[in-house]
Amino acid sequence: MDLFSGNRTLREIDSDGNTAAAEALIATNEPILSFDTAYNLQLAISQYEPFVAAGGWEEVPQEAYGLSSGKKGKPAIALKRRLISSGDMALVENVDDVVDEVTDRGIRTFQARHGLIVNGKIDEPTWYALNVPAQTRLNQLYLNFQRVQNLAPNLSERYVVVNIPAATIEAVAGGMVEQRHVAVVGRVDRATPIMASKISQINFNPYWHVPKSLVRKDLTKYMQENPNYLAEQNIFIYDGSGNKIDPATINWANISDTEVNYMYRQEPGAANSMGHCKINFYNPYDCYLHDTPTKALFGENARFHSSGCVRVESVHQLVSWLLRDNGDWTQDRVNATFESLQRLDVKCEGQVPIHTTYITAWANRQGTVSFRDDVYNFDAQGKTTFEA
What is the rounded distance in angstroms from the CA atom of residue 231 to the CA atom of residue 239? Answer: 17
The radius of gyration of the chain's CA atoms, rounded to the nearest angstrom, is: 24
Catalytic residue of the set 309, 316, 348, 355: 309
The Cα-based distances of 37 to 169, 274, 363 in angstroms read 16, 33, 6
Active-site residue, 309 included: yes
Active-site residue, 181 included: no
What is the rounded distance in angstroms from the CA atom of residue 161 to the CA atom of residue 159? Answer: 7
Catalytic residue of the set 114, 181, 276, 290: 290
Phi-psi region of 16 (alpha: psi -120 to 50; beta: other; left: phi over 0): alpha
Q: Which residues are the active-site residues?
A: 290, 309
